[in-house]
Amino acid sequence: MLTYGEIPGRLLALHHCDNPACVRPDHLFLGDEKDNFEDALAKGRRTRVIPGATKLTEVQVREVKSRIVAGEKVRKIADSLGVHYNTIWDIANGRKWAHV
């Protein structure tokens, strides 16, 4: 904002360098939520997931819980199973699949 002024509308400052703390003007570009998602997808930081389209089995949930206990990151688990981050987060925090 110091270099270019106010960010218009609902746009976000996105990072070419993928470092959220970076404030170098030449590392930043404007985009909306879709642009942010597509940028993350292109850089391999996300997978294209349709929420609710992928269902986990009880065996997979047990695997998820084991991986969480082992210290694996929630995002990595979600990406590997092709499910939304929130699905794994809910399992990790006992909001879903608590009976397993």
Of the chain, the end-to-end C-alpha distance in Å amounts to 48
Which tokens belong to 60? 């997979």
pLDDT at 34: 86
pLDDT at 35 over 70: yes
pLDDT at 53 over 60: no
Find the mean pLDDT for residues 31-35: 88
Residue entry with tokens 């360098």: 17
pLDDT at 25: 92
Find the mean pLDDT for residues 32-40: 86
Find the mean pLDDT for residues 32-45: 85
Q: How confident is the model at residue 49 (pLDDT cuts 50, 70, 90)?
A: low
CB 14 within 8 A of CB 29: yes
pLDDT at 8 over 60: yes
